[in-house]
Amino acid sequence: MLGRKWITVGLVALCTVGVYANKIPQDIKTKKTVKKEVYQKVWEKIYGGKDDDIAQGIVALENGESAIVGTCKSFGAERTDICVTRMDAKGQMKWSILLGGKKEDEGRAITRAADGNLFILGTSKSLSHNYDRDIYIAKVTLEGKLVWEKSIGGDRDEYAGGIAGTDDGGVMLVGDTESFAKRYRDIYIAKLDKEGKTVFARTVGGEKTDEAHGLTRLTDGNFALVGMREVSKAYEEFFVMKIDQQGKQLWAKTFGEYDDDSLEAVTASPDGGLVAVGKTRSYGSEQTDLTVMKLSTDGKVLWHKIYGFKYYEYGNAVTVTPDGGYMLAGGTSTLGKGSHSVYILALDKNGALVWSHVYGDTSRDIAHGIARMSDGTVITVGESESFSRSKDFYMIKVKATPKTQK
Instruction: Quick: pLDDT tens for 137-191.
Output: 999 999 999 999 999 999 999 999 999 999 999 999 999 999 999 889 999 999 9
Q: Phi and psi for 356 in degrees, rounded to 5? A: -155, 160
* pLDDT reported for residue 14: 30
Q: What burial letters (b/e) apply to 140-158, b meaning 16+ CB within 10 Å?
A: bebebebbebbbbbbeebb
Confidence class for position 12, pLDDT limits 50, 70, 90: very low
* pLDDT reported for residue 192: 98
Higher pLDDT, 235 or 97: 97
Higher pLDDT, 232 or 343: 343
Instruction: Quick: pLDDT tens for 44-95.
Output: 999 999 999 999 999 999 999 999 999 999 999 989 999 999 999 999 999 9
In a domain, 130, yes or no: yes
* pLDDT reported for residue 35: 52
CATH code, 83: 2.120.10.10
In a domain, 180, yes or no: yes
Which residues neighbour 295 within 8 Å (Cβ) at sequence distance 6 or greater? 224, 240, 253, 273, 274, 275, 276, 301, 302
Confidence class for position 24, pLDDT limits 50, 70, 90: very low
In a domain, 335, yes or no: no
Confidence class for position 404, pLDDT limits 50, 70, 90: low
Dist CA 281 CA 257 (whole Å): 9
Dist CA 333 CA 308 (whole Å): 10
Dist CA 19 CA 333 (whole Å): 15
In a domain, 29, yes or no: no
Is a pLDDT exceeding 90 seen at residue 120? yes
> Looking at the 3D structure of the chain, how many domains does it have?
1
Q: Cβ distance 122 to 128 under 8 Å?
A: no
Dist CA 371 CA 60 (whole Å): 6
**Can you give the residue range of the structural domain that contains 137?**
59-207
Q: In what order do the strands lie in the sheet with 289-295?
A: 261-268, 274-280, 289-295, 301-307
In a domain, 220, yes or no: no
* pLDDT reported for residue 8: 30
Query: Which residues share a beta bridge with 331?
Result: 314, 342
Is a pLDDT exceeding 90 seen at residue 265? yes
Counts of helices then strands in the chain (DSSP H, E) = 0, 31
In a domain, 33, yes or no: no
Name the 3-class secondary structure at 140: strand
Query: Which residues share a beta bridge with 319?
Result: 327
* pLDDT reported for residue 67: 98
Residues making up the chain, counted from first to last? 406
In a domain, 22, yes or no: no
In a domain, 287, yes or no: no
